[in-house]
Structure 1
Amino acid sequence: MDTKQDLLSFDLADRLVLQLDQALHTLIPGSSTANRHSPALAADDAELSDSERQQAAALMRINHTGEVCAQALYQGQSLTARLPDVRASMDHAAREEVDHLAWCESRLQDLDSRTSLLNPVWYAMSFGMGAAAGLVGDKWSLGFVGETERQVCDHLEDHLDRLPANDQKSRAVLTQMIVDERTHGDAAMAAGGAELPLPVKAGMKLMAGVMKTLTYRI
């Protein structure tokens, strides 16, 4: 069964099966296929030192895990969203984010590195957070997406500064990801997303910091 079908036509049990299928596609290396070509293909290749390669790989591993979390958040929210158009919006955004997942994984392979061993943990936690946000209400669910994407853009821009200067391929991937993430966040807020309370934003930022610290090495 195609996991990209509109989930609105399925009952809860069917959607849970599709969610499991999507989780496996997200977590098993090589299972995600991008609909767009990676921006890295158009960028110049450069020789990286061992230390530069390790730094680039560590940052791209964090970015890959961020996309794992994004998939889980969107899947959790689409499962519990009340309004059909909001649920459909979550499904659409998740499909677009698959490109990012595949691009980051491909870049990690180019850098002779791997994805994080902790991805199943982050997926489970993020799915739960997304489902909880959907249960609270659609305006908060959309606001959660908007704030998540804002924070993602901030850390991607930070990674652009921390990448080796001559790693144009990783830089091209992150630059396009920033464009897409900002679009998703703006769309969520325009669709009626509510501004989250400051303590919630701070908690999200704290959790993201823990994820980045652990994923940098594991």
Structure 2
Amino acid sequence: MISIHKGEYFYSDGIGVSNINLDIKEGESACIMGPNGAGKSTLLKILVGLYPLSAGEYLYKGIKVDAALIKDRKKIANIYKSIGLVFQNSDIQLFNNSVRDELAFGPEQMGLSDEEVKERVDEILRLLKIEHLQDRIPYHLSGGEKKLVAIGSVLTMNPDVYIFDEPFNGLSPSYRELILKLMKSLKDSGKTIIISSHHFNQLKDIADKIFVFSKEHTIDRSIMRDEWSKFPSFTEFFDNL
């Protein structure tokens, strides 16, 4: 479903990612790990079609996602409908005047009927237990509430792939548990999930594979579930590598 071969991305002042090779099958859950600044967030933006590779090849469902496709508004719109990204910083994702408007924005851009948009928004409000926030201004919410609304704005679009960039950062244990439960539900429904996170132990029952970044901005190794499942924690597993 998702494949990158010898992928490179360069910023004007340095390397974003280098020599990236990965494959993620439909319905798989992948965790991306590594030190801060190694290129994890850059890779996620490449996967969602925000950044074109400087070199190498990225295929999504057999379609080559490159600079030419990204410039084609109609073609890249199909990618945006199919892949949803929940940013690490919720503030840059929320811009509407109410939570309800925030959840409705994506489906409206997809051209859905008013009735279907309302149905989707109502369903996600119930699912995330945020009905009481629907008339609130998003930037007035707490950090955890903002994160739920950001996730909800992706859920209402019902993409095939969900990408989460450090979804647990700064959240209370209760919000972490709620988001983790949501991820498990998405996995059980057959969605493809990609998560960049340092909370490895929480994700050990969700992830099918792990891609580990090095300080050199490349994926140092990939690890399958059967390699870590016999250890009680990711920490112990990595200590035994």
TM-score (norm 2): 0.23
Quick check: which one's strand share is greater? 2
Name the structure where helix makes up a greater proportion of residues: 1
TM-score by length of structure 1 reads 0.24
